[in-house]
């Protein structure tokens, strides 16, 4: 008698409830071998902290009064229990020096650490300044994890072998009140408006912008056209389409736009995708830079001028924007003057094509974007032409299937920003494949795989820079009758490029079931 072969039993779902401390493959911030002093800027617990930022004072230690070759901010935090990912920002003298978000903890607790080079803020750091941190959190019977955060600042004295770096000599925060958080959560059509007075002899002016979407805008890269989301409210889709850009305006005039990175919070898509490797840009968030030098001819008259940060057009939730200006002055003249700026910054032409019907459809979005501004400045070096520009292509294909229970997104953004001989290039890639089976808040299952990539390079205008960061992760999360019955993931990250002193650096991390293997 012949026995029919038996099919192999499907492996049982694994429930991972504890994972190791969060990790990333980023290169460490280098530390120069000069005398240094470290001060504790903040040690604080954020529990029920919405609308209750930490407000203190940061002053340089007398024994390390400067000049400094480097200033490093260090963050160490811990949490234990159950908690959402939370957005956090940090300001010194009203200038936003850090934007981050928190990993989600486990019952036994996590601790994570990272450093941030804040040397560019040295003009503010030579005197006592308000030190503000905002991390809105909720602690109750369900979400039990407060965030304990300690921030230190280390000042490294300059010497002949390690001089103070050449950099902007004036920092102009966009925050209206240096004693309060300087960001704003903005809906569609509302801008962040700041009044600034630029030093009369400013010869170069750059804007540094931080931008993150919230709510439905956390997942803007997977959003569908608004009319589709409204037609099928039961599907829980977010509208607004998939193209986003953040702009800057000077005295009401467009001055530049940037293409934001598609950052995913540590609870995004499915939480186990990001345990223990956090998504690119989630923990160490990079700002975007726009050169405003072509507008100096009108900005250096000693009067207040308006700078606006503009959230993406057509958003369906809020974007949190903030930032600073950096001015480099010309000691050889009392005032830098110049021609009125020439600007070519049209509205983005977003092309959307749809195939299929209803919730079984494919949506392709394409944008070819370019802009530039220019002027002539009168400086101590004579008549100097200045120009800023940006150009990129954006392609996103989002497919819905099985009445939108399955969604696949493939996005690629590649381009560069130009500024007086310097080119900052970028190549962003994202692929996400998500299957959701949702009955209600207590009965659901999510399976997903995500690829994230960010390649950055700089040529001209000083030391070249190069980095490539990629993450591939898969896993899922689910509950049955409110009980966690599925929580597992595996991932790997590869960072390759030049570190902050130009040395080659490469690191790869592989994880399974919440632990590095």
Phi, psi of 258 (to 5 degrees): -130, 155
Q: What is the pLDDT of residue 11?
A: 61
Listed in order, strand segments (DSSP E) in 380-464 are: 382-401, 406-419, 422-440, 443-459
3-state secondary structure 302-351: CCCEEEEEECCCCCCCCEEEEEEEEEEECCCCCCCEECCCEEECCCCCCE
Residue 194 in contact with residue 296, Cβ under 8 Å?
A: no
Topology classification of domain 14-165: Jelly Rolls (2.60.120)
**DSSP-assigned beta bridge partners for residue 480:** 483
Mark residue 286 as left, alpha or beta (left: phi above 0; alpha: psi -120 to 50; beta: remaining). Answer: beta
The DSSP annotation for 263-311 comes to ---TTSS-GGGGSSBPPTTTSSPPPEEEE-GGGHHHH-SSS-EEEEEEP
Edge-to-edge order in the sheet of strand 68-79: 36-46, 147-157, 68-79, 110-117
| Nearest in space to 441 (alpha carbons), one of 399, 479, 486, 390 | 479
Dihedral Cα 155, 157, 161, 165, nearest 10 deg:
60
Give me 275's structure tokens.
């345990």
Task: Give CA separation, 133 vs 52, 107, 193, in Å.
Answer: 9, 26, 21
SS3 content of the chain, % helix, strand, coil (to 5): 5, 50, 40
Distance CA 187, CA 185 (A): 7
What are the pLDDT tens digits along the chain (517 aa)? 445 454 444 467 999 999 999 999 999 999 999 999 999 999 999 999 999 999 999 999 999 999 999 999 999 999 999 999 999 999 999 999 999 999 999 999 999 999 999 999 999 999 999 999 999 999 999 999 999 999 999 999 999 999 999 999 999 999 999 999 999 999 999 999 999 999 999 999 999 999 999 999 999 999 999 999 999 999 999 999 999 999 999 999 999 999 999 999 999 999 999 999 999 999 999 999 999 999 999 999 999 999 999 999 999 999 999 999 999 999 999 999 999 999 999 999 999 999 999 999 999 999 999 999 999 999 999 999 999 999 999 999 999 999 999 999 999 999 999 998 899 999 999 999 999 999 998 999 999 999 999 999 999 988 899 999 999 999 999 999 999 999 999 999 999 999 999 999 999 999 999 999 9
Q: Regarding beta strands 515-516 and 504-512, do their DSSP bridges make them parallel or antiparallel, or are they unpaired?
A: antiparallel
State whether residue 10 is helix, strand or coil.
coil
* The model's pTM: 0.95
| pLDDT, position 10 | 47
The residue among 195, 193, 89 whose CA lies nearest residue 132 is 89
Residue 119 has what pLDDT?
Answer: 98
pLDDT at 448: 97
- Residue 122 has what DSSP assignment? H
| Spatial contact of 36 and 155, defined as CB atoms under 8 Å apart | yes
Residue 23 has what DSSP assignment?
B
> Taking a C-beta distance cutoff of 8 angstroms, is the pair 305, 135 a contact?
no
Rounded CA gap, 246 and 259, in Å? 7
∠ Cα 184 187 193 (to 5°): 45
Answer for the pair 183, 320: CB distance below 8 angstroms, yes or no: yes
**CA–CA gap between residue 173 and residue 186 (Å, rounded):** 18
Compute the distance between CA of residue 90 and CA of residue 79 in angstroms, rounded to an integer. 19
Integer CA distances (angstroms), 462 to 31, 423, 459, in order: 20, 11, 8
Neighbours of 295 (CB within 10 A): 27
- Torsion (CA) 229, 235, 241, 243 in degrees, nearest 10: 160
Distance CA 248, CA 310 (A): 6
Q: Are 71 and 125 in contact (CB under 8 A)?
A: yes
Dihedral class, residue 299 (left if φ above 0, else alpha if ψ from -120 to 50, else beta): alpha
- Considering just the CA atoms, what is the radius of gyration of the chain in Å? 24
What's the distance, Cα to Cα, between the start and end of the chain in Å?
46
CA distance 202 to 386: 13
- What are the two backbone dihedrals, phi and then psi, of residue 62, each rounded to the nearest 5 degrees? -60, -35
């Amino acid at each position: 008698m012949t026995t029919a072969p038996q099919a192999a039993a499907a492996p049982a779902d694994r429930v991972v409830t504890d994972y190791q401390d969060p990790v990333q493959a980023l290169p460490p911030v280098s530390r120069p071998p000069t005398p240094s002093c470290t001060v504790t800027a903040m040690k604080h617990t954020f529990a029920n902290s919405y609308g209750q930022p930490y407000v203190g004072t940061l002053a340089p230690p007398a024994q390390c009064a400067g000049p400094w070759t480097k200033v490093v901010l260090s963050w160490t935090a811990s949490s234990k229990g159950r908690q959402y990912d939370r957005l956090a920002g940090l300001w010194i003298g009203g200038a936003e020096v850090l934007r981050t978000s928190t990993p989600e903890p486990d019952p036994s607790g996590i601790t994570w650490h990272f450093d941030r080079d804040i040397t560019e803020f040295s003009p503010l750091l030579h005197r006592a300044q308000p030190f503000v941190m905002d991390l809105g959190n909720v602690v109750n019977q369900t979400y039990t994890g407060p965030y304990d955060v300690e921030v230190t600042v280390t000042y490294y004295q300059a010497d002949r072998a390690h001089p103070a770096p050449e950099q902007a000599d004036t920092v102009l925060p966009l925050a209206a009140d240096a004693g309060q958080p300087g960001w704003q959560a903005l809906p569609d059509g509302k801008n962040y408006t700041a009044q600034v007075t630029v030093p009369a002899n400013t010869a170069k002016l750059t804007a540094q912008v931080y931008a993150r979407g919230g709510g439905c805008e956390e997942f803007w890269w997977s959003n569908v056209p608004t009319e589709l989301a409204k037609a099928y409210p039961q599907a829980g889709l977010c509208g607004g389409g998939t193209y986003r850009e953040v702009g800057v305006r000077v005295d009401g005039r467009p001055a530049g736009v940037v293409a934001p990175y598609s950052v995913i919070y540590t609870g995004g898509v499915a939480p186990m995708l990001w345990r223990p490797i956090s998504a690119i840009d989630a923990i160490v968030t990079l700002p975007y830079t726009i050169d405003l030098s072509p507008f100096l001819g009108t900005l250096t008259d000693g009067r207040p001028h308006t700078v606006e940060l503009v959230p993406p057009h057509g958003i369906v939730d809020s974007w949190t924007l903030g930032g600073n200006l950096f001015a480099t002055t010309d000691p050889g003249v009392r005032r830098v003057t110049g021609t009125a700026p020439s600007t070519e910054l049209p509205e983005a032409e977003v092309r959307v094509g749809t195939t299929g019907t209803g919730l079984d459809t494919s949506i392709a979005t394409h944008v070819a974007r370019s802009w530039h501004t220019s002027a002539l400045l009168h400086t101590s070096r004579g008549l100097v032409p200045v120009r800023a520009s940006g150009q990129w292509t954006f392609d996103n294909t989002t497919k819905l299937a099985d009445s939108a229970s399955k969604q696949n997104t493939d996005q690629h953004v590649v381009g560069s920003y130009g500024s007086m001989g310097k080119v900052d290039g970028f190549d962003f890639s994202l692929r996400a494949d998500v299957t959701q089976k949702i009955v209600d808040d207590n009965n659901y299952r999510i399976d997903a795989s995500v690829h994230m990539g960010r390649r950055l390079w700089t040529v001209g205008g000083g030391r070249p820079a190069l980095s490539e960061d990629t993450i591939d992760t898969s896993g899922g999360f689910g509950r049955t009758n409110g009980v966690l019955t599925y929580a597992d993931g595996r991932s790997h990250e590869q960072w390759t490029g030049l570190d902050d002193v130009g040395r080659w650096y490469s690191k790869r991390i592989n994880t399974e079931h919440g632990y590095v293997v």
